[in-house]
Structure 1
Amino acid sequence: MRINIETAELQAFIAVARQSSFRAAAEGLFITQPALSRRIENLEQALQERLFDRTTRRVSLTPAGELFLVHAQAVMEELELAVKSVEQRMAQRREHVTVACVPSVANNLLPQVLKRYARSHANVRVRIIDESAADVLESVRKGEADFGVNFIGAQEAEIDFAELTRERYLAVMPTHHPLAAHASLNWKSLAGEKLVSVSSSSGNRSLIDNAFSRVPQRPVIQYETNHVAGAISLVAAGLGVALLPELAIRNAPYKGIVARPVTSPVLSRAMGLITLKGRVLKPAAATLAQALRDAISTRSGK
C-alpha cells in the first residue's frame, strides 16, 4: 500500500503535538490555522485514525496520536540527517582544487604551501599534476587543472600568464670539481666540460641550447635524463656538470654537490601563474593560488 503522507503534514502534526495548540503551531510554521487544520485532516484520513482530542480549552493526543508521534519524530530526524549528509557530501565534492606545476615547484615549494593551506582548508581535496612544462600548459588549456605554475605559456593566446618571479640557472657540479673554486662562472668556462642534461623535449633544455648557441665552443652533452632529479643524481656521482634552475636544487637531498651562478649572460626563466583566459577561479583555488604567489614572493625577496 502506498503511503500518501507529505512531510509538511508530519511537520504540522509534530508542531501541534509539541505546542498543544493549533494557533501556536500555525504561528510557528508561518501558515494560517485553516491551512494547518487541513494538513492534520489529510494526515488523519491517510492513517484512518484520529490523532487529537480537541476541545475549546485544550488539544491532546489520542492513543493513536501518541504512538504515531514517536515514529513521526524519528522519520523527520532521519530525513534531516539524510539531507545534511547529502549536503556535506556534495560540498566536499565541490571543494577540490587541481594545480598543475613543473616538478621543481611540486618538490621544493608546494609541500610547505599546502601544509599551511590545509590549516584553513582541511576538507579541500587537492590534486597535483606534476609534469613537464608542456604537460602543465596542456592541463590548464584543457581545463583539467584550475591553474598552473609554469615557465612557458606567456605566448599562448588562450592563456593568461602572470609572472611571479625570474628564476636563474646555476651550474651544478661535484664539490671536488675544479670549477667549484670559482664564485661564479661564465659560459666560456664551461666549454669542453661533459654536461649532464635533461632531455631535448624539456623546456629547460630549449633555454640551455639557446644560450649555448651563442658560445663558440659548446660543452658536450654526455648524459641525458628525463627529469631534473636524475640529472642531480648523476652530478652527485661525479659524472659531469649540469645547468639547472635554482628552485630545482635549492633543497636537493644530495651531498657532495655545489652550485655556482652562471653570468655573461645570466640565464633565467620567468616563472608564472597560468590560467585559461577569462576563467574565474573558485574560492578554494584562488586561495591556493594566492598562497603560492606569497610563497614565491617571499623566496624571491619581493
Structure 2
Amino acid sequence: MINISHIYAFLELLEKRNFNAAAESLHLTQSGLSRKINAIEERVDQRLFERTTRLVRPTRAALTLARHWTEAIAHYQAGLAEISSPDFDLSGPFLVGVSATSRYGEWQNLSDMFVKAFPTVTVRIETMPSQDVAFCVRNGDLDVGFCGGPIADEKLGVVRIEQIRYRALLSEQHPLASRQSLQLKDLQGASVSLVSAKTWPRVREPLDALLARHGLQVSVGYESNFLDLVLKHIIEHGGIGIHPVAKNYLLPRGVVLAGMADLDLVLENFCIWRKSATSPVVRSMVNLVRRQFADAPDTETPAR
C-alpha cells in the first residue's frame, strides 16, 4: 500500500521537475522528499525519475502513474468535499410550486438533478398559475417556485432559467398547417383559441397587447383555463391558437407547431424564493439553479 502523502509528493515533483522546488512547496527536506519517491519506486519496482544535476525527468512509468493518480486524487478530494458539505445529510419535506409552462421546460432537468443529489429530501410539487406560484412563495406556503415573469417583488430572489417563444398551434386540417412559418398578417380576421386571460395573465397580456399594437382584427373564439382543452378545441374545430410551448411539452396528435417570423415574443421563466429563507434545502436548490445557469445572473427587480 502506498501512503497518499507519498502520492502527493510524487505529483508535486512531477510538476516542479526539481527536488529543491518540490521539497519547498511540500515543506519537506530534500532528503525527506527523496525517501518518499524511493518508497514508491520500491513498491512499483520501477524507476520513476531520471536525475540530472538540477532537474529530474519523469520516465514512462512515472507518466503512466501520474495519469491515473491525478484522477484518483481528484475523486478523493471530491469525496471529502461532498461529505463535509453542510448539505450532505439534507432531508425532510420540500414544497415546490411549478407553473404549467415551467413544468415542461428546464424544471424537468433540474428536478431530476436535485432528487439524485438529495435522495432523502421529500419533494412535493404543486402545479398552479404563475401569479399563484409567486404569491405562495412570498407568503411562505411554497419553499421555491418556478414560474413565468415578470417578477416584481423585492422580497424574492430571482434567477431567469429560460425563455420560451410563442408559436402558432394549428389543427392539421387548418389551411395554414402545411406552412413551416407564418406571419402576423396571416391572423387577420382569424378566430383564435387561447388560454384564459384571467388564469394565464402572464401569457395573455403581452400577446393581447402585441396583437392590438399591430391593429389585427383577431377575435378570441375559444378560451379555457387549461391548455389541454384549448388544444382539444383546435383539433375538433380545425382551428388555430398561439401559446409559448416549452421544449418538453408533448403535443397531442392532430396539432402542429409553426413559428411566426415577426412574432418577437417570449415568456421568461424564473426560479424564485424568499430572500429571508434560511432552509438548507432551499439554499441547495438555489445553488443548483445558479450553477446550471451561471450565465444568467440573479435578477433583482424593484418592487412596484
TM-score of the pair, normalised by structure 2: 0.59
Q: In structure 2, the residue corresponding to 1:160 is in which secondary structure?
A: strand
What's the % identity of the aligned pairs? Answer: 20
- 2-structure distance, mates of 1:177, 1:219: 16
Q: In structure 2, the residue corresponding to 1:161 is in which secondary structure?
A: strand
The one-character-per-residue Cα deviations of 1:243-282 (angstroms, maximum 9, x if unpaired) are 11121x7432511211111232411122111222x33563
**Correspondence list, 1:257-268, <5 A:** 257-268=255-266
Q: In structure 1, the residue corresponding to 2:223 is in which secondary structure?
A: strand
The one-character-per-residue Cα deviations of 1:219-259 (angstroms, maximum 9, x if unpaired) are 21111100222212222324421111121x74325112111
The one-character-per-residue Cα deviations of 1:62-113 (angstroms, maximum 9, x if unpaired) are xxxxxxxxxxxxxxxxxxxxxxxxxxxxx88x62211112112225554554
Contact 1:188–1:215 (CA<8 Å) still a contact in 2? no
* Aligned partner (choices 196, 203, 212) of residue 193 of structure 2: 196
Query: What corresponds to 1:11 in structure 2?
Result: none
Contact 1:146–1:281 (CA<8 Å) still a contact in 2? no
For structure 1, list consecutive stretches of 5 or more residues without a partner in the other structure.
1-90, 298-302
Instruction: Give the AA of the match of 2:122.
Output: R
**Correspondence list, 1:136-147, <5 A:** 136-147=133-144
Query: What corresponds to 1:103 in structure 2?
Result: 100
Residues 96 and 263 from structure 1, CA distance in 2 versus in 1: closer, same or farther, beyond 3 angstroms?
same
Contact 1:154–1:160 (CA<8 Å) still a contact in 2? no
- 1-structure distance, mates of 2:227, 2:149: 17
TM-score of the pair, normalised by structure 1: 0.60
Q: In structure 2, the residue corresponding to 1:223 is in which secondary structure?
A: strand
Contact 2:102–2:269 (CA<8 Å) still a contact in 1? no
- 1-structure distance, mates of 2:115, 2:216: 50
Instruction: Give the AA of the match of 1:221.
Output: V
Task: Kindly name which structure, 1 or 2, has the bigger radius of gyration based on alpha carbons.
Answer: 1
Contact 2:96–2:143 (CA<8 Å) still a contact in 1? yes
Contact 1:153–1:274 (CA<8 Å) still a contact in 2? no
Query: What corresponds to 2:35 in structure 1?
Result: none
* Aligned partner (choices 148, 170, 174) of residue 173 of structure 1: 170
Q: In structure 2, the residue corresponding to 1:204 is in which secondary structure?
A: helix
Contact 1:95–1:124 (CA<8 Å) still a contact in 2? yes
- 2-structure distance, mates of 1:268, 1:150: 13
Q: In structure 1, the residue corresponding to 2:252 is in which secondary structure?
A: coil
Instruction: Give the AA of the match of 1:159.
Output: L
**Correspondence list, 1:13-92, <5 A:** none
- 2-structure distance, mates of 1:158, 1:217: 39
Q: Give the CA deviation at 1:290.
A: 5.1
Contact 1:236–1:254 (CA<8 Å) still a contact in 2? no
Contact 1:137–1:152 (CA<8 Å) still a contact in 2? no
* Aligned partner (choices 149, 161, 177) of residue 146 of structure 2: 149
* Aligned partner (choices 107, 119, 122) of residue 119 of structure 2: 122
- 2-structure distance, mates of 1:183, 1:228: 22
Residues 293 and 174 from structure 1, CA distance in 2 versus in 1: closer, same or farther, beyond 3 angstroms?
farther
Q: In structure 1, the residue corresponding to 2:213 is in which secondary structure?
A: coil
- 1-structure distance, mates of 2:160, 2:193: 29
- Of Structure 1 and Structure 2, the greater helix share is in 1
Query: What corresponds to 2:249 in structure 1?
Result: 251
**Correspondence list, 1:232-243, <5 A:** 232-243=231-242
